Structure 1
Amino acid sequence: SHQPYQYGLGTIDGIDINADLANRYKLECKFIRALMYFNLVRVYGDVPLVLKEISISESYDILREPKENVYNQIIADLKEAQGLPVSYPTAEDGRATQGAAKALLADVYMTLHKYAEAETILAEIINSGRYSLLENTPGSLNIDGYKNVFSPVNHNSKEGIFEIQFLKGGYGEGSNYANNFAPENSGTNVVAVGGTGGNNIPEMDIYNAYEEGDLRRDFSMSLGYYDNRKNNEWVESRYVCKYMDVPYQNNDASNNYPVIRYADVILMYAEALNQNGKTAEACKYLNMTRRRGFGYQTTETSPGDLQTTDKAQFSLMVEQERRVELAFENHRWFDLIRTGRAVEVMRSKGFSLNETNLICPIPQKQIDVNPKLTQNDYRIESRN
């Protein structure tokens, strides 16, 4: 039978390649495998766990693995991936690093409520001195530091721990966020080149979630635009503007996508400290991102600073801070699941959510392909 020519974790040892490089490639693969499985297990629960190249006929017998086993594999892969380099030469920037493996492992520990393990590994990242929050310009209220994290010309900064790499210029390597998120029919008013998708429209609920004086709001989303085709008349049309650039052509912009950044690490650390009974210390880390959000330096006292020794109160404070700091970075849903608040919060916003809706149904297409796959118990409640 004809076997397609392929490289994989199972075949790399047979390739004539420098041993150190081969080992690094293996660890990069394990990091990416862990990231993919972490997303899969959080979205679907039990999933088929494939750890070697398999034939099509074999694949029909690889059914859903208990999520505990999937998590054990994710943890094993990320523990190994801590052997990755701490950094790369500029030309190799964007590859998975030791810091990325540690930060993702911390996220896994948080998800599994292993707060002691999470605190330890997050402290290692923080104490390494390799990462920092990008600071605002001193002296006047501004959001320059936060803007720089998302700047299309500032890839892999001191705050970026793992970013999906994009580069405009007709190479087929550009990102589509700017075009995708620009309001439908907005012409060149929001994005100067290419189409306008009108996708990922934010609700007023997230706009209203920002406190008075939080400068992250207007950088992250907008309620509309001034139309240069109609005497600069205001057009109401909410959109995400956190990932804006002038594309080279349609869907070809330079915005990286932040999978894990240092602000996330700081806030996970605050949450872990609080869970481990260190609420007063946790406030110090919570206030770092808040200060920047309100236009200050992360080291200067600001009117937005919060202080509490109440564990339950702090949990809600860090939930809120993650919501606005990491808005439109795909953390909110998983945060609510992790803290057990998804049903309560979503119901309070008018959604008829129940406990079976915390993971998604297996796509019917997959069950059609392999009827041996079991479906999730997913019940939709009718709205009264």
Structure 2
Amino acid sequence: MPPESDIKDPSLAEAGKERIAWAAREMPVLKLIAERFEREKPFSGVRIAACLHVTTETANLALTLKAGGADLVVCGSNPLSTQDDAAAALVSYGIPTHAIKGEDDTTYYKHIMSALESRPQLTVDDGADLVTIMHTKRTELLKEVIGGTEETTTGVIRLRAMAAGGELKYPIVAVNDAKTKYLFDNRYGTGQSTLDGITRATNVLWAGKRAVVVGYGWCGHGVALRARGMGAYVIVVEVDPVRALEAVMDGFSVMPMLDAARVGDIFITVTGDKHVIDAEDFAVMKSGAILANSGHFNVEIDIPALEAASTSKRTLKPFVEEFVLSGGRKIYLLGEGRLINLAAAEGHPASVMDMSFANQALGLEYLVKNRGKLDAGVYPVPADIDNNVAALKLRSLGVTIDTLTEEQQKYLSSWQEGT
């Protein structure tokens, strides 16, 4: 949990409450769900463990689940993403929270193990750490689990690998794959917050820089779009031919990583994979190159290889490390290679997290309603939930849309009428 002095400091918790309320202004969908949960108590008596980035937006999800009657415990999903005031505020609301910004790996995993002491029946993950630890170190807990949700691309990749190998022991809803998640959170949220984090850490001028975006999934789409909007020349690195072709037709240069390494000024990884920037790339980078990551884990940049190639390193300012290579070239690593948008900034804007966390809340409710009916595996967010989240978001924005007439519905469902 946050340090005792922090928990006992009323000003820290109060500051967190104010910021949680500020985020709530942009989360009307989650508010509507919380109001219904307050009446219906779908999680009454249900134990939930949530391993998430402990931010003000996450706090609003936690309060929504608590309103629904959940016995909730929260832990951090990344050592640098916790906002200590948000954590302190959650504790003051009666939600045990195990997270401290800047914690080392030992403390990080200790906090996860502490959350698992609650013997959760539902898990909420941001990277699948809760799931994998339960499947490896706390297997006795699996028999009590109803199901879980997973919010990230990286986490869903891990879970699908577990399911393919027959190792996943309970049903998990892939919140990341909901349209109202990846089309908005991944694209607009990651795009804006990643550039925000890099800019806060470095105060770099984007205009005229060559920004290399490694990975052109929906997160890569957003980062490339925002970098171009700031005046950067954007280069995309991809291994998927369809995504590479899409990047070309979106107006970006596409080339192999080694070629991009020679010309790039700022490198941003968003692949979910390991060592996508490695030793041979560091060897050809220009002096002054900046490396940042917005994938979930700090493995996308081969940091051990960068350290091995360096003659010295030092911390220049918060979230900026300088590595001096042979010949005097300097490479700058941001945020220890961890999620730069949460390490050096505040993460995604509340407005997009509103939809992501609405899917989390409704996905958990779906699992409770279907308790015992789902086999172990990775499941999509039901289409009616996805569409309901979109409809609620539009309503909150004051936007109305048309509906099909009975004649139009009949026409679309008929294969005989062609005129």
TM-score, normalized by the shorter chain, greater than 0.5: no
Give the TM-score of the pair, scaled to structure 2: 0.29
Give the TM-score of the pair, scaled to structure 1: 0.30
Structure with greater helix percent: 2
Structure with greater strand percent: 2
